Amino acid sequence: MSEAIQIHDFGGPEVMQLETAGTGEPGAGEIKLAQTHIGINYIDVYFREGVYRPAQMPFTPGVEAAGEITALGAGVTGLQVGQRVAYAARPPGAYSAERIIAADSVVALPENIANEQAAAMMLKGMTAHMLLTRVYAVKPGDTILIHAAAGGVGLLVCQWAQQLGATVIGTVGSQAKADLAQAHGCHYPIRYRDESLLERVREITQGQGVAVAYDSVGADTLKDSLACLQRRGVLVSFGQSSGKPPIIEVGELAAGGSLYLTRPTLFDYISEPAEMQSAAEALFTAVSSGALSIEIGERWPLAQAADAHRALEARQTTGSLLLSV
């Protein structure tokens, strides 16, 4: 028997309940994991609220974790019992002590990457890699805008973009978050509660605007993100922590200077095992070399997953958030 968070009805954090159930054994092409650390991400909130729909109810949320293989299903090759692995994968099911998962959804961990570190960076780190190298290839001399710069994805984007030679503008909610973002490569943190985003971006870029704006906030920021772009700039909407993004008419893209708008999902960029392995290797290399540091903001035991969601939604957190088993 194993413990897992179960959701029977969509709603607030209170719908997540710790329950005990059997995990079973892996089928063909599957492995069984004893999980040690679980990453908390805003996509988990979307599933909990019903913005994203699971295949069935009840369900266990979570798409990111690390642990040790305890059993192999038929036909699994390249992995072994006792091996440490991590994943960022759908369908959800990560908020659990044990899990059955497709073998081609996990990557083996190098010796120098701890389980806790891996669970804090797989989804967020591969998202940062996708944003900066595949959705829009950031190059030296670019000025970029990243919202929630002190969050899990934001801190990684700041560091990685700086390594790529970009000037980084980031929005934050407090001076403490501004200091944290700046320490991780954000050249110009903007406190959105106290400063005008548009005015500061125009000032910093001398009226030119940014090459790309990465927006995970949605309702509160998307229109302003669009207005911050330079001619032929790219708006990347990859989340909606403040609510559903507003509708942008096609004509607005032309009026703003032949702008581009895209809504990427990481899982479309790592849908093939080779793509996932390549993204994971790039992330591991960046962390191992010291180019990226993984900031773990807070940790909760699995039973306190609801408290973790409350803190995340209240914008009280920084860096990556973890559940421990």
Burial class (CB in 10 A: 0-12, 13-18, 19+), 7: buried
pLDDT (mean) for 160-175: 97
Q: Where are the alpha helices (DSSP H) in the chain?
A: 42-49, 115-130, 152-163, 175-183, 197-204, 222-227, 250-255, 266-269, 273-288, 305-313
Residue 1 has pLDDT above 90, yes or no: no
CA distance 96 to 240: 26
pLDDT band at 144 (very low <50, low <70, confident <90, very high): very high
What average pLDDT does the structure give for the chain? 96
Q: Would you say 7 and 68 are in contact if contact means Cβ atoms under 8 Å apart?
A: no
Going from N- to C-terminal start, the domains of the chain cover: 2-122+283-324, 140-263
pLDDT of residue 39 exceeding 90: yes
Which two tokens mark 157?
A: 């984007």
Average pLDDT over residues 120-136: 97
Length of the chain in residues, anyone? 325
Cβ count near 275 (within 10 Å): 15
Whether 282 and 140 have beta carbons less than 8 Å apart is answered as: no
CATH class for the region spanning 2-122+283-324: alpha beta
Matching fold, domains 2-122+283-324 and 140-263? no
In the DSSP assignment, the letter for residue 54 is P
Per-residue pLDDT tens for 232-286?
999 999 999 999 999 999 999 999 999 999 999 999 999 999 999 999 999 999 9
Q: Residue 73: what pLDDT?
A: 98
Percent of the chain with pLDDT over 70: 100
- Work out the average pLDDT over 18-26: 94
Q: What is the pLDDT of residue 215?
A: 97
Is residue 20 predicted with pLDDT exceeding 90?
yes
Which of 205, 250, 245, 251 lies closest to 229 in space, CA to CA? 205
What confidence category does residue 21 fall into, taking pLDDT thresholds of 50, 70 and 90?
confident
Task: Place 2 in a pLDDT band, splitting at 50, 70 and 90.
Answer: very high
Report whether 306 contacts 16 (CB < 8 A): yes
Predicted pLDDT at 320: 95
pLDDT at 251: 97
Cα gap 287→112, rounded to integer Å: 10
What's the pLDDT score for residue 197?
A: 97
Class of domain 140-263 as given by CATH: alpha beta
Q: Provide mean pLDDT across the span 19-41.
A: 96
- Is residue 68's pLDDT more than 90? yes
